[in-house]
Amino acid sequence: MSDAPPPHTTPNNPWGPRPRQGSGGLQGETVRVTSPDLRQRAALEKSRTRLVAVSAVFLILFFAVAARLSFATVIDPMKPAPRVVQQFTPEPPAAATAPPPGRASIIDANGQILAVSLPVASLYADPRQMIDTNAVAVELKKILPDVDEGDIARRLASAKAFVYIARRVTPAQEIAINNLGVPGLSFQLSSERRYPLGDTAAQVLGGVDIDANGIAGVEKYFNTRLNTDTTPLRLSIDVRVQAIVRDEVANAVKTFDAVGGCGIVEDANSGQILGMVSIPDYDANDLAQATDAERFNRCATGTYEPGSVFKLQTASMSLDDNVIHMWDYFNTTHPLPIGRFHITDFEPQHVWMQLGDIMKLSSNIGASRISLLVGKDRQRAWLQKLGLMSREPIQLPEAAMPQVQPASTWGKATLMTVSFGNGIAETPLHIANTAVAIVNGGTLYKPTLLAQNIGDPPIQGTTVMQTSTSDIMRKIMRYIVTSGTGEFGDVPGYFVGAKTGTAQKVSEHGGYKKHTNYSSFVAAFPIYAPRYVVYVAIDSGHATAETHGYTTGGWMAGPAVSHIIGRIGPMLNVMPRFDNVAEINQQLDFPHPYPAPPGAVVYGPNNPGEPDDPNAMDKPAHPTKRGGIARVAQDTKWTTPASTVKNLRHDAMYRVPAPASADATH
């Protein structure tokens, strides 16, 4: 069979013309399918089938992926694994490491922050990771102006893996260093001890070293507690009182061009220290730059001959042991010889005096004569009982021991000079704390810098004298203010009781410095019911026109005490009293002269008279609680040159020779 097209065909009608309608033939053209067309059609059909199949597969995959994506992002979001995040997260800038456990803060009695540890970043480097260490040093110098560029370059040139660059970096500097993008620079977070109030209570607080360990003051005493217990350490210091005391003491030091000064305010019924100031002082934030004189705590570390404030001890011990009575008289008509020297008075009266006037006029001669009746053993026992021969148990590592002669050399000269505060050296804290016992009824407290918390049991003290002795001493101290050397310490409405003290400064080469005094003033207020004791001392002050050339305790320290009491009284809720003044004055008054009760034996110029042998006066004049025997003697014939009576000073100007033979007899 031939595949050639039939005749009469055309391209559009390859099989010839279609039969016409109406003719009896077929309607339409006859279609002829050849083999190529069939193959082409089969290929098209196969392609269509494949396309549909592929499309279906892709459609299924699309819906599967879409469903999975919806499930993973909407229905149940999935977080990438940490290792994946790590791979795609850029390395953060050098951050400070975690800080060490914090050191507890120190606060005052009212919660004011005195010391606090703040986080601070330290910059260190690993030079091994750096390419150009010199360039790094140049860039760091631009950000840290306090560092030495050459020193930093030398450090970075080393092969060490850890090199400190700067220990204190501010947040702004930290950001700037991170922006450098230098590998090998990192930060370590540590803490820095800061003292927000600067010089307030600087010597009390002390300070810490670079590793935050206490090296002085309260910081050192409570170092373990501050590093292990984050509870703030609450002190008895009241920053309001502290600021006032500092203001007044610093003003007095400046006014009198003094070497220094100190001030203490102590609670008379607990021994808590509300204020402790030593001038000169320093900014506690810059301990390393403070001089030795600025770091020196004159209140607790300095020991000084106290001068006539020590007569409070002489009067208290002699009254408490019934060695003397208020009605007894003592010979102050002339200087008292001791070896080749003489004990003199600042304002000699040349009369026989009772104890009240001896204290009012601060007579060294009178105090010496009383001490001879008290005797060495009683005197030492009293000083021991009052804590004047041992270190004060306060929370300061620097608290000093008094300078006291041993019993083996405690002869008549020492006995007499100690009675008016020479020949013995005490800290101001000793003087203030014993004054507390003298005015509060006879209870000696351990001075403390710790505040009492609510619920704490009351602070317990030790009874060291009779209440009656304390009552008399309060009257004497008020008498000193109203009629004696303590007039400049008075404050209207506060009924201040006080005692002045002036001691010549000991020379570095032996003997005493001329015209150089340690002037002090100790007071209690209100003296009829004491709440607080205030002590101020001015070291080596110079006289002014206002002091009329005097450098005694009343002139130098008295006004500062008066100002302190007037300022701190109201804030401590001790208001001045202007009602019942006559009644209070009557309560504090005692007769002058003091009358002897009926039948009493009066020690005086006539009966029984003054002992003729001062070296043998080591026995009491009256029966005592210890069974002493009264002594009767005759008047002494003195041969003192008249020249020694002139220009007499408040405190004796002498130094007892070391081999003094007079000391051999007690």
Distances (CA, A) of 608 to 290, 330, 334, 630: 60, 11, 19, 10
Written as one string, the DSSP assignment of 69-94 is: HHIIIIIS--PPPHHHHHHHSPPPPP
Query: pLDDT tens, 335-360?
Result: 998 888 889 998 888 899 999 999 99
Q: Are residues 292 and 229 in the same domain?
A: no
Length of the chain: 666
Query: pLDDT tens, 221-246?
Result: 999 999 999 999 999 999 999 999 99
Choice between 638 and 66, residue whose per-residue pLDDT is larger? 66
DSSP designation for 663: G
Enter the tokens of residue 477. Answer: 């101290």
Average pLDDT score over residue span 362-374: 95
- pTM, entire model: 0.75
Is the pLDDT reported for residue 434 higher than 90?
Answer: yes
Query: Residue 275 in contact with residue 237, Cβ under 8 Å?
Result: yes
Q: Are residues 207 and 261 in the same domain?
A: no
Assign residue 212 the CATH number of its domain. Answer: 3.90.1310.10
Does residue 71 fall inside a structural domain? no
Does residue 79 fall inside a structural domain? no
Does residue 95 fall inside a structural domain? no
Q: Are residues 343 and 446 in the same domain?
A: yes
Q: Are residues 264 and 172 in the same domain?
A: no
Q: Are residues 538 and 622 in the same domain?
A: yes
Domain containing 210 equals 106-234
From 191, 206, 234, the end of a domain falls on 234
Does residue 663 fall inside a structural domain? no
Q: Are residues 167 and 278 in the same domain?
A: no
Query: Residue 417 in contact with residue 656, Cβ under 8 Å?
Result: yes
Query: Residue 218 in contact with residue 233, Cβ under 8 Å?
Result: yes
Does residue 142 fall inside a structural domain? yes
Enter the tokens of residue 516. Answer: 């150089």
User: pLDDT band at residue 147, thresholds of 50, 70 and 90?
Assistant: confident
Q: Are residues 394 and 275 in the same domain?
A: yes
Measured between alpha carbons, how far is 648 from 502 in angstroms, rounded to an integer? 13
Q: Range with the lowest mean pLDDT among 18-22, 276-280, 614-618?
A: 614-618
Measured between alpha carbons, how far is 266 from 373 in angstroms, rounded to an integer? 32
Query: pLDDT tens, 112-121?
Result: 999 999 988 8
Measured between alpha carbons, how far is 224 from 103 in angstroms, rounded to an integer? 10
CB-side neighbour CA atoms (13 Å) of 258: 29
- List the one residue out of 238, 106, 205 whose CA is nearest residue 567: 238
Average pLDDT score over residue span 104-119: 95
* Packing angle of the helix pair 171-180, 133-143 (nearest 10 deg): 150
Query: pLDDT tens, 295-339?
Result: 999 999 999 999 999 999 999 999 999 999 999 999 999 999 888
Enter the tokens of residue 35. Answer: 């083999």
pLDDT of 641 reads 35
Q: Range with the lowest mean pLDDT among 101-110, 201-210, 317-326, 555-564?
A: 101-110
Average pLDDT score over residue span 207-217: 92
Active site residue 236: no
Tell how many helices (H) and how many strands (E) occur in the chain.
Answer: 20, 18
Is the pLDDT reported for residue 494 higher than 80?
Answer: yes
Q: Are residues 427 and 373 in the same domain?
A: yes
Averaged pLDDT of the chain: 84
Does residue 36 fall inside a structural domain? no
Measured between alpha carbons, how far is 528 from 495 in angstroms, rounded to an integer? 7
Assign residue 272 the CATH number of its domain. Answer: 3.40.710.10
Measured between alpha carbons, how far is 490 from 496 in angstroms, rounded to an integer? 5
Q: In which element (H, E) is residue 626 found?
A: none
Residues 6 or more apart whose CB falls under 8 angstroms from that of 84 comprise none
Strands 214-216, 497-506: pairing kind: unpaired
309: phi > 0 → left, psi -120 to 50 → alpha, else beta; which?
alpha
pLDDT of 224 reads 95
Query: pLDDT tens, 16-43?
Result: 555 555 545 445 555 565 666 777 777 7
pLDDT of 607 reads 58
pLDDT of 577 reads 95
User: pLDDT band at residue 79, thresholds of 50, 70 and 90?
Assistant: low
pLDDT of 642 reads 36
Enter the tokens of residue 514. Answer: 């001329």
Does residue 98 fall inside a structural domain? no
pLDDT of 278 reads 98
Is the pLDDT reported for residue 617 higher than 70?
Answer: no
Q: Are residues 186 and 305 in the same domain?
A: no
Is the pLDDT reported for residue 624 higher than 50?
Answer: no
Burial class (CB in 10 A: 0-12, 13-18, 19+), 115: buried
- List the one residue out of 117, 446, 127 whose CA is nearest residue 266: 446
Q: Are residues 204 and 267 in the same domain?
A: no
Catalytic residue, candidates 117, 122, 190, 308: 308
From 201, 234, 267, the end of a domain falls on 234
pLDDT of 557 reads 97
Domain count, the chain: 2
- 3-state SS assignment for residue 266: strand
User: pLDDT band at residue 92, thresholds of 50, 70 and 90?
Assistant: low
Measured between alpha carbons, how far is 149 from 155 in angstroms, rounded to an integer? 10
pLDDT of 616 reads 39
Average pLDDT score over residue span 415-434: 96
Q: Are residues 200 and 306 in the same domain?
A: no
Choice between 442 and 613, residue whose per-residue pLDDT is larger? 442
Torsion of CA 510, 512, 514, 519, to 10 degrees: 140
Does residue 611 fall inside a structural domain? yes
Is the pLDDT reported for residue 644 higher than 50?
Answer: no
Is the pLDDT reported for residue 163 higher than 50?
Answer: yes
Average pLDDT score over residue span 158-164: 82
Q: Are residues 483 and 585 in the same domain?
A: yes
